[in-house]
Amino acid sequence: MPEIWLSYGITDVVLDIKAENLDQEIKPQGNVLSEPEITSRIEQLDTSKPIELVILNNSKSVQKIISLLFEKCNQQSVTKPCILVDKSMIASLKNIVPEGAEISQFDDMELSNSNLVFIHEMEFDGLFGFDTISTDLLRKFGQEQMLSAFQKRKNNLPSPGEDTDSLKIAQEFSNKFEISAIEVVANSDGIVDLSIGHPSNTMSISKSLLSIAKNEVGKHRTMIISTGKESSNNSLSKSLSSLWNCFPAIKEQGLAILLAECKNGIGSHSIQQYIEGRMSLDRLKNPAKYIDGMDDLLFLTEIGKKFEIGIISVLPEVYTKKLGMISFNGVKFALDHILKNQGARQKVAVVPDGARVLLR
């Protein structure tokens, strides 16, 4: 019996599946950079002047970059940078950053600070095509421009990995600020590529992400999708990107089961409002104002018309039921449901790193 380990929060859980039920295990590709190669790339960043690191997502690849930057500062005997993060990340980062690192909450008023260096692992995004530093900045600080980005979506289905007009809006937004960026592409083995410069330029590394992520896998009736890392499944909103990456490979009337802890809850004002009965689906198509997560709510409702969506998470079932999702208490329960409802011989495709694949 094959053992497949899938990310769930800070731990991994095992999927015990019979060989005759395992259709395909789909992973990203790519050769990782050695530590000397990464260190050589980091030399491009000038640490002789004061810098402040803004951490946008807390993945192992981002932690690696922080560690090497601190080593560089030690070797050069220069002041170590302060680390700035969103309030929700402070507690988790304190246990993993280099000793003596100062961690503070990031204030959007600081975007005018030219000492800022944003660090981010690139993924895919249903609205923009790619989740980059520029798109993160737009989502956090560009409310008016987000409405334009939402209006310029290709259609009402997600477009991960595509070159979109919405991405151009994000690029224009980040161009307003004199800031620096380290954009990273990684797989489960390590860092595959990185780019240093202005965030409007580092997004060009998206070509490297596409090269490791694209998989022509055909259509599958049943798929179990893990996001691949904690930073990609800490909220429902963040976790849904892995579903967007895989949905073209799921048959009509099929079943996709998302494995995502969601310890930080929904992570989207629009989805929360919809659950509470304060957001109508009609409002989504042409809103007068963008509310955080409108794109995810729209994509979820449209994809839900094509196939069933299940989820293994800590979210209350009353929430997931409102969203038309089937809740499971664990991987074993999900597999039992598949075999009971689709037959004991049903083949199941498994995606252990959904945030970094693009299925077609």
Instruction: Give the pLDDT band (50/70/90) at residue 301.
Output: very high
What is each CA distance from 233 to 62, 153, 220, 227, 228, in whole angstroms? 16, 24, 23, 6, 8
Using the 3D structure, point to which of 210, 237, 258 is the last residue of a domain: 210
- What CATH number does residue 160 fall under? 3.40.50.11440
Tell whether the model's pLDDT for residue 99 goes beyond 80.
no
Angular region, 228: left φ>0, alpha ψ -120 to 50, beta rest: left
Same domain, 226 and 183: no
- Residues 112-141 have pLDDT tens digits of 888 999 999 999 999 999 999 999 999 999
- Residues 30-77 have pLDDT tens digits of 999 999 999 999 999 988 888 999 999 889 999 999 999 999 988 888
Mean pLDDT of 242-250: 98
Residue 272 lies in domain: 3-26+217-359
Using the 3D structure, point to which of 210, 236, 260 is the last residue of a domain: 210
Q: Specify the pairing of strand 250-259 against strand 308-312.
A: parallel
User: How many independent structural domains does the chain possess?
Assistant: 2
Question: Residue 84: CB partners within 8 Å, gap ≥ 6?
Answer: 52, 53, 54, 55, 103, 104, 105, 106, 110, 116
CA distance linking residue 124 with residue 111, whole number of Å: 24
Same domain, 233 and 174: no
Same domain, 132 and 248: no
SS3 (DSSP) at 112: helix
Q: If you search the block for the tokens 């990995």, which residue do you land on?
A: 161
Same domain, 195 and 332: no
- What CATH number does residue 324 fall under? 3.90.226.30
Average pLDDT, the chain: 94
Using the 3D structure, point to which of 210, 241, 276 is the last residue of a domain: 210
Task: Work out the number of other CB atoms within 10 angstroms of the CB of residue 221.
Answer: 18
